[in-house]
Amino acid sequence: MVIGLFGIILVAATVGGLVILGPGLVSAVVAHRKGYRPWFWIFSLGLVGLLVTALMPGLRRADTPELRDRWETRADWTGGILSALTFTLTFLIPLMGAMLFVGLPVAKPLPRPLIAPPSIAVEESMMEVEQMEAVPSTDQPESDGKTE
């Protein structure tokens, strides 16, 4: 059963990886044509990465070398973050779910004490409750029944 479960997860991760990798490869080609490093965009969260690379300006349009460096750094970070997110969603989360589903031991239960706790002895005299009489209070004057 465990092998079958891991097989299903491996197939799901592979199919998910191909669905995400296909548009990721197109994103890498688009990024390369615009002058960016394509390696950051190979696993760029599928269609999200493709949309981001389509909206990025080409590096040839930069007026100054500082602007070009800033755009290139921002594109590298964006592609790297999208690729890391893709890796997490495609491989790590299904693997963690499989490990939880299989039931890896999380923590051992605490051992039971060998000696039973002492029992509490209750005496019968402690259980008796005295009955109290209701005595009217003489501190306040009695009212004559009329309200003020």
- Residue at 125 is within a domain: no
In a domain, 39, yes or no: yes
pLDDT of residue 3: 62
pLDDT computed for residue 9 by the predictor: 72
- The count of structural domains within the chain is 1
116 in any annotated domain? no
Asked if residue 42 lies in contact with residue 77, where contact means CB atoms within 8 angstroms, the answer is no
> Could you tell me if residue 129 is inside a domain?
no
**148 three-class SS:** coil
For residue 144, being part of any structural domain is answered with: no
CB 19, CB 48: distance < 8 Å? no
Q: Decide if 43 is inside a domain.
A: yes
What is the residue range of 79's domain?
2-101
DSSP secondary structure of 79-133:
HHHHHHHHHIIIIIHHHHHHHHHHT----PPPPPPSSPPPPPP--HHHH------
Does residue 137 belong to any structural domain of this protein? Answer: no
Q: Residue 139 domain-assigned?
A: no
Global pTM value: 0.52
Grouping H, G, I as helix, E, B as strand and the rest as coil, residue 142 is coil
pLDDT at 70 exceeding the cut of 90: yes
pLDDT at 50: 86
